[in-house]
Structure 1
Amino acid sequence: MPQYRAPLRDIKFVMSELLDSETHYQQIPGGEEATPDMVDAIIQEGAKFCEQVLSPLNQVGDEEGCSLQDGHVSTPTGFKEAYRQYIEGGWPSMTSDEELGGQGLPGSLSMVMSEMVGTANWAFGMYPGLSHGCMATLEAHGSDEQKQTYLPKMVTGEWTGTMCLTEPHCGSDLGLLRTKATPNDDGSYAITGQKIWISAGEHDLSDNIIHLVLARLPDAPKGTKGISVFVVPKFLSDASGNPGERNTLVCGSLEEKMGIHGNATCVMNFDDAKGYLIGEPHKGLSYMFTMMNIARIGTAIQGLASSELAFQGSLEYAKDRLAMRSLSGAKNPDGPADPIIVHPDVRRMLLTQKTIAESARAMIYYAAQQADISQASNDEDERNEADELLSFLTPIAKAFLTELGVEAANQGMQVFGGHGYVKEWGMEQIVRDARISTIYEGTTGIQALDLLGRKVLMTQGESLKRFTKKVHLFCKEQADNESISEFVEPLQSMNKEWSDLTTKLGMSAMKDREEVGAASFDYLMYSGYAVTAYLWARTAEVAQRKLQEGTSEEAFYKAKLQTARFFFKRMLPRAKAHADAMMSGADNLMEMEEEHFAF
């Protein structure tokens, strides 16, 4: 397994130079404390923890997995000690409100830590990771009593949280869920039902686990309009607010998974477990979207994490592994063969991984800044603008980046050749761990329908226009900058094509709604390449400006330009195929009779 090294220079480039985080933090309430010195210290210390503590446990977690005995789950060797250090370092409380015991730093700063934790050890990062969405839901919709009871200890990390949505008979179609909530005389509810695929549903890291559970009240209407959300703790709080009586819920089994073995994925059985209604009845699904949107951005980070770790492993290997001679002449004449990094096809794979990782970092950090603004700005119009932009970007980030993350993980294994297929090197673990990312928190297909159907067509294209206007403004500002015309001109053309394709799809959908489902995957992927092209063009502008001004880091900025060029020449052309596919219509998918699928 590659030993993770935090890519601090690129993290700082995206934050400070591409996205101007210093100005961003000074413009949002609560961001004043995030001075450059503080941000740098946080990132440095976070990198040290991830490299020295979490990375060595990554392969341990995969090989040992979790164990279940009498309803109790034990995590792999070293995880409990690592989690204790995680709490002691104050990492869970970094961006929570100071009133709740948090440090009050901007939420986007936590994305940097989430990236490093996730890349070093994705299975570990999932234990505290879901707590943030759980806390956000309680903060936004919980009663004062619920906030006081649960949030302070979740902020410190002493307690963790989950979201319990899926049931055996329904995956993403939550309108089919059957878990019931029966009112008790004391104002609480008896929750009965089974939930599956609950990440970190049971473990030995925290003193309590706070479950947010979707269930139906006796008078609930059918479908998604009849869903309520309840807070159901593993241990009920005693008079002092500490864990007391064990609630009647239990982990019935652990899923046998392809990857992320170090994280407990549980079947949770609720047997008249005591729960408390959050907010109003029958509004649970809308409340949970607070949590799910955060979880989806968190899942997008897995696309970045798998790309970065695979790239680090395969780059080191490609520099050392000797095989064959360069076609243009020996590059290692004193050795029996040349290192494989000299071969064009190996470089293609390495550059693909590098480009995906750096693209993902830029997109996620950009989305995180929009989240900061939507949550903290004093300007209502600015908040609404950022919230709408974030809503548009979320399905793209989640689905596009995880699809490319799986690609990068596979490319990493391919660089190793046969060695990549065996456990010794750890590259096949990255592939196995990455594969779930395109599935959970809404599959790629579901995210694609959300983007094209809900976010774009249902808003008559307004959500798309909000983003394409930003692209248009950038292209207009850089129209006379000949040094980056190779990036600006194709971006400008694509930006127009994006709008034109959307208009044509909207017209087709008016005649046949199946056209939306038929085009949605390719539309999402096209959109992902378009957003990425914008970010790479901005990156090229920064890099070119730094080189023209004179810099001691010439190699770094030249590499940025070269990577941008690789993306525009080698990866962006993929968007043309997606455009052709989305415009080919639904008939080639829907005309075949079901019985003709048989073989």
Structure 2
Amino acid sequence: MDAYVAPVEDYRFLLSQVLGFDLEMAELGSDLDTELAVSILDEAGKLCTEVLHPINQSGDEEGSRIVDGEVRTPAGFSNAYATFRDAGWPSLSADTAHGGQGLPFVLQLWLDEMLSASNLSFGLFPALTRGAAEAIAAHATDAVKSTYLSRMVSGEWTGVMALTESSAGSDLSLIKTKASPQADGSHTITGQKIFISSGDHDFGGNIIHLVLARLPDAPAGVSGISLFLVPKFLPDAAGACARRNTMAVGSLEHKMGIHAQPTCVMNYDEAIGWLVGEPNRGLAAMFTMMNAERLMVGMQGLGVAASAYQQAAVYAKGRSQGRGASAASGTVAIVEHVDVRRMLLDVRSFVEGGRALAGWVALQVDRARKHPDPDERTRADGFVALLTPVIKAAFTDMGFESAVQAQQVFGGHGYIREWGMEQLVRDARIAQIYEGTNGIQALDLVGRKLSMAGGTVVDAYFALIEGDLDRAADGSIAKNVVTALETLRGITVLLKGADPQTLGAAAVDYLRMFALVSLGWMWLRMECAAEQGSTPLDRAKIDIARYFATRVLPRVSGMAATLSSGPEPIMALPVDAF
């Protein structure tokens, strides 16, 4: 594989010309500017290029394994994590009150993109720790926070979430893991969890499991689930890892991809743990972590697509095959062939549009956390909630599709391990499944998010897009975005208040429509910004914006026609006929 190249100049373009980063930071009371932000991203990119990408393919081939009951990660992973931790990257966006750097969340999401592009298996370790720390910060007692939080923020200790059981996947009401109260205020946790990413490793330090379990008197269903902090080692008064807890890795899952990531079956045998949040309110506490993770998983899809595009573009420019357009021309690089260009542009238009949309959502996260006006905080928080299932589902679906498209550019070589493309396809697939399958994300969008605040959140979001369209009325792609937005808005009106079966039939197509219109909005903004410049990057943005508007965005109308047919074609076939 060719070396990974961090998209630092694209980040600079977005911060300085599209997202208004300096003005946003000033409004939030921060003195961070574009140049400093870019320098931070540049350093992160160097780490991804020089440390993480070189062990990506070897890590996939070696895989994690169990030795004497302990997980061993592939060669180089433990040292890479030490480098990552010692440079301060785990604390990048964490609250300064807990030892974090408090830097803007846009830097965090774009770091997640680069981690996923260079080494997706590795990126899960710090990402899960960050999510676990956020849940602890939001819901744990002061005593628990003082023991665990600063060490997790620094990356000295890592964190995971343990939700899934063999009989309880998406339906967490079926959880059977038990929690028994103890006289000292702790609980013993007994049960088995599966699919636990980063459940164990050899990086040193403690591993903090957030485990869903049931108290003895818990009501049935999701209203009877509590959340517990269960450390691998029980710390002493000084915080040292004094005694091994009664929890162990039963086995490692044998997976399609992310082989370097230890996905564990975890057995808890009266392991000591502490309640996080209120009894029987564990799901609400866990969703603090899951919502943060869903944005990160969306960036996994984007990162894999970005990496796949880079590899495919280099290959397409260097691989000679076939004749040129004229009869007299000789063999040409395959990038000259129209179908290869179509595949590359499909991927690139998603990657660069998605990168912009992720940056905009990340800025809304910071506005929701830090804006001095409470109304602005509420408004931004609504936008983040609305876009979270879109980022998670659409980016991971499009990320997998992009990896397949880029693999196709390589032809037969894309199917061969040495080129690395088949690994990207395998690694990308899991992101569509975990942290809530993409079908569930679509149901969340149509069933919950469209009706937030009486439907005013989605209306306000559409108004933002409309405002930019009004300002760019003469832009070359504005008409296409207007048409797509009008189509989406019409379907949105039809779905508000629809019955569950209609919503279920429409959900997946609707989410993709929503994503395409949102990406079209970002391309509109990028085209308007690029028209003010004259660099090769500016000219490329204009060309890709027009490609997206004319070749990708019109798919919205086809999806609208599909979902307008309602649930009848889906439900007509009797169950016995399947």
Aligned to 1:6: 6
Instruction: Write the letter of the residue equivalent to 2:220.
Output: K
Given that residues 21 and 33 in structure 2 are in contact (C-alpha distance below 8 angstroms), is that contact kept between their aligned partners in structure 1?
A: no
Q: Residue 389 in 1 paired to residue 383 in 2?
A: yes
Q: Deviations over 1:44-66 (max 9, x none)?
A: 21111111111100101100000
State the SS of the aligned residue for 1:213.
Answer: strand
Aligned to 2:298: 300
Given that residues 121 and 258 in structure 2 are in contact (C-alpha distance below 8 angstroms), is that contact kept between their aligned partners in structure 1?
A: yes
Q: Residue 593 in 1 paired to residue 544 in 2?
A: no
In 2: Cα distance, 1:171 partner to 1:328 partner: 57
Given that residues 198 and 266 in structure 1 are in contact (C-alpha distance below 8 angstroms), is that contact kept between their aligned partners in structure 2?
A: yes
Given that residues 127 and 160 in structure 1 are in contact (C-alpha distance below 8 angstroms), is that contact kept between their aligned partners in structure 2?
A: yes
Aligned to 1:495: 485
Q: Of the candidates 129, 132, 148, which is equivalent to residue 131 of structure 1?
A: 129
In 2: Cα distance, 1:330 partner to 1:110 partner: 52
Listed as ranges, the matches of 1:137-536 within 5 Å are 137-329=135-327, 333=330, 337-457=331-451, 459-479=453-473, 482=474, 484=475, 486-506=476-496, 509=498, 512-536=499-523
Closer/same/farther in 2, CA of residues 503 and 35 from structure 1, 3 Å limit: closer
Instruction: Write the letter of the residue equivalent to 2:366.
Output: D
Pairwise CA RMSD:
1.3
In 2: Cα distance, 1:106 partner to 1:458 partner: 26
Instruction: Write the letter of the residue equivalent to 2:504.
Output: G
Most deviating of 322-331 and 169-178: 322-331
In 1: Cα distance, 2:276 partner to 2:451 partner: 32
Q: Of the candidates 48, 51, 75, which is equivalent to residue 50 of structure 1?
A: 48
In 2: Cα distance, 1:198 partner to 1:86 partner: 22
Q: Of the candidates 63, 70, 73, which is equivalent to residue 72 of structure 1?
A: 70
Instruction: Write the letter of the residue equivalent to 1:496.
Output: E
Given that residues 195 and 265 in structure 2 are in contact (C-alpha distance below 8 angstroms), is that contact kept between their aligned partners in structure 1?
A: yes
Gaps of 5+ in 2: none
Instruction: Write the letter of the residue equivalent to 2:448.
Output: R
In 1: Cα distance, 2:538 partner to 2:51 partner: 31
Given that residues 177 and 191 in structure 2 are in contact (C-alpha distance below 8 angstroms), is that contact kept between their aligned partners in structure 1?
A: yes
Shift of residue 186, structure 1, vs aligned partner: 0.8
Closer/same/farther in 2, CA of residues 464 and 99 from structure 1, 3 Å limit: closer
Shift of residue 218, structure 1, vs aligned partner: 1.0
In 2: Cα distance, 1:329 partner to 1:296 partner: 51
Given that residues 93 and 157 in structure 1 are in contact (C-alpha distance below 8 angstroms), is that contact kept between their aligned partners in structure 2?
A: yes
In 1: Cα distance, 2:235 partner to 2:118 partner: 34
In 1: Cα distance, 2:547 partner to 2:12 partner: 22
Most deviating of 456-465 and 142-151: 456-465
Closer/same/farther in 2, CA of residues 88 and 513 from structure 1, 3 Å limit: closer
In 2: Cα distance, 1:162 partner to 1:75 partner: 16
State the SS of the aligned residue for 1:211.
Answer: strand
Given that residues 303 and 360 in structure 1 are in contact (C-alpha distance below 8 angstroms), is that contact kept between their aligned partners in structure 2?
A: no
Closer/same/farther in 2, CA of residues 568 and 329 from structure 1, 3 Å limit: farther
Shift of residue 20, structure 1, vs aligned partner: 1.5
In 1: Cα distance, 2:2 partner to 2:191 partner: 41
Listed as ranges, the matches of 1:61-140 within 5 Å are 61-140=59-138
Listed as ranges, the matches of 1:498-577 within 5 Å are 498-506=488-496, 509=498, 512-546=499-533, 551=534, 553=535, 555-577=536-558
Q: Deviations over 1:433-480 (max 9, x none)?
A: 00111111111110000000111146543231021010111122223x
Most deviating of 450-459 and 515-524: 450-459
Q: Deviations over 1:237-280 (max 9, x none)?
A: 11211111111111111000000111110111111111100121
Most deviating of 113-122 and 229-238: 113-122
State the SS of the aligned residue for 1:163.
Answer: strand
Q: Deviations over 1:347-395 (max 9, x none)?
A: 0011111111112111111111111111122221111111111000000
Given that residues 446 and 495 in structure 2 are in contact (C-alpha distance below 8 angstroms), is that contact kept between their aligned partners in structure 1?
A: no
Shift of residue 193, structure 1, vs aligned partner: 1.0
In 2: Cα distance, 1:398 partner to 1:50 partner: 22
Q: Deviations over 1:406-436 (max 9, x none)?
A: 1110011100100110101111000000011
In 2: Cα distance, 1:118 partner to 1:26 partner: 30
Given that residues 2 and 426 in structure 1 are in contact (C-alpha distance below 8 angstroms), is that contact kept between their aligned partners in structure 2?
A: no
In 1: Cα distance, 2:500 partner to 2:392 partner: 24
Shift of residue 38, structure 1, vs aligned partner: 2.4
In 1: Cα distance, 2:131 partner to 2:364 partner: 17
In 1: Cα distance, 2:432 partner to 2:542 partner: 30
Aligned to 1:16: 16
Given that residues 487 and 560 in structure 2 are in contact (C-alpha distance below 8 angstroms), is that contact kept between their aligned partners in structure 1?
A: no
In 2: Cα distance, 1:339 partner to 1:36 partner: 38
Aligned to 1:40: 38
State the SS of the aligned residue for 1:202.
Answer: coil
Shift of residue 40, structure 1, vs aligned partner: 2.5
Instruction: Write the letter of the residue equivalent to 2:150.
Output: P
In 1: Cα distance, 2:401 partner to 2:303 partner: 12
In 2: Cα distance, 1:210 partner to 1:117 partner: 22
In 2: Cα distance, 1:10 partner to 1:221 partner: 51
Shift of residue 159, structure 1, vs aligned partner: 0.4
Shift of residue 35, structure 1, vs aligned partner: 3.0
In 2: Cα distance, 1:465 partner to 1:387 partner: 14
Gaps of 5+ in 1: none
In 2: Cα distance, 1:88 partner to 1:124 partner: 16
Shift of residue 98, structure 1, vs aligned partner: 2.6
Given that residues 304 and 360 in structure 1 are in contact (C-alpha distance below 8 angstroms), is that contact kept between their aligned partners in structure 2?
A: yes
Given that residues 480 and 553 in structure 2 are in contact (C-alpha distance below 8 angstroms), is that contact kept between their aligned partners in structure 1?
A: no
Instruction: Write the letter of the residue equivalent to 2:201.
Output: H
Instruction: Write the letter of the residue equivalent to 1:25.
Output: M
Given that residues 162 and 210 in structure 2 are in contact (C-alpha distance below 8 angstroms), is that contact kept between their aligned partners in structure 1?
A: yes
State the SS of the aligned residue for 1:212.
Answer: strand
Instruction: Write the letter of the residue equivalent to 1:305.
Output: G
Given that residues 45 and 114 in structure 2 are in contact (C-alpha distance below 8 angstroms), is that contact kept between their aligned partners in structure 1?
A: yes
State the SS of the aligned residue for 1:149.
Answer: helix
Count the aligned residue pairs: 578
In 1: Cα distance, 2:35 partner to 2:530 partner: 23
In 1: Cα distance, 2:364 partner to 2:428 partner: 26
Instruction: Write the letter of the residue equivalent to 1:358.
Output: E
Given that residues 77 and 122 in structure 2 are in contact (C-alpha distance below 8 angstroms), is that contact kept between their aligned partners in structure 1?
A: yes
Most deviating of 197-206 and 19-28: 19-28
Instruction: Write the letter of the residue equivalent to 1:518.
Output: A
In 1: Cα distance, 2:427 partner to 2:257 partner: 4
In 1: Cα distance, 2:26 partner to 2:129 partner: 27
In 2: Cα distance, 1:182 partner to 1:189 partner: 5
Shift of residue 117, structure 1, vs aligned partner: 1.6
Given that residues 160 and 206 in structure 1 are in contact (C-alpha distance below 8 angstroms), is that contact kept between their aligned partners in structure 2?
A: no
Aligned to 2:25: 25
Given that residues 461 and 502 in structure 1 are in contact (C-alpha distance below 8 angstroms), is that contact kept between their aligned partners in structure 2?
A: no
In 1: Cα distance, 2:347 partner to 2:328 partner: 26
